[in-house]
Amino acid sequence: MVTISAFDFDGTITRRDTLSLFIRHVVGLWRYYWLVTTMLIPIASALLGIGDRGKVKERLLGKVLGHMPLSQLQHYAYTFRIKYDNILRPKAIAKIRRALDMGHRVVVITASPEEWVSPFFADRRISVVGTQLADENGLLTGKFSTPNCYGAEKLRRLEALIPRDTWARLIAYGDSRGDKELLAAADEAHFRPFRK
């Protein structure tokens, strides 16, 4: 039996959402604004809970990453981690270290693609579970290979990684409605725990 400490990434471990930051890192500020302008209505509807967040995100990332070699994405992810190292909340990182010291299975579970989240966690004892990008022969297709890892999908993906009958205890940390199901399933839930 294992005690799991599960952490949301964007807004919980980080000071802000990384989707827009990563897109700007890849395409630059002006192209980012152009992309947002061309998708203003779908983005607004997704933020208001009317549209499908996953489909809007897939479409946006498809415009940015579609047909990009995986090696280039990995380069962007590495340089993104270096550039935005200060986005991590020190209290969250300290809590992750304490959980590891206590022998917990630490999982960072996020709606962001694993490709740009994983470089922030070099410790092999930390599992990163997120939305996965599809590729064919080393080129990104612009589609997701898994459902958007948001809401109930977070709990499903955690159960796929660590079967529920092996859980001794689940401690969960989140900051938004995308973490609702994960927090509800936890023995110990922390909502927005690392903010001042």
196 within a domain of the structure (yes/no): no
Amino acid 45: pLDDT: 83
CB 26 within 8 A of CB 64: yes
pLDDT at 6 over 80: yes
64 within a domain of the structure (yes/no): yes
97 within a domain of the structure (yes/no): yes
The predicted model scores a pTM of 0.94
61 within a domain of the structure (yes/no): yes
* Predicted confidence (pLDDT) per residue in 81-132, tens digit: 999 999 999 999 999 999 999 999 999 999 999 999 999 998 889 999 999 9
Domain CATH for 122: 3.40.50.1000
d(CA 134, CA 131): 10
Domain residue limits at 148 = 2-191
d(CA 54, CA 40): 15
How, if at all, do strands 167-174 and 188-191 pair? parallel
Where are the strands (E) in the chain, listed by range? 2-7, 105-113, 126-131, 133-136, 139-144, 167-174, 188-191
* Predicted confidence (pLDDT) per residue in 118-177, tens digit: 999 988 899 999 999 999 999 999 999 999 999 999 999 999 999 999 999 999 999 999
45 within a domain of the structure (yes/no): yes
CB 81 within 8 A of CB 99: no
103 within a domain of the structure (yes/no): yes
52 within a domain of the structure (yes/no): yes
Number of domains in the chain: 1
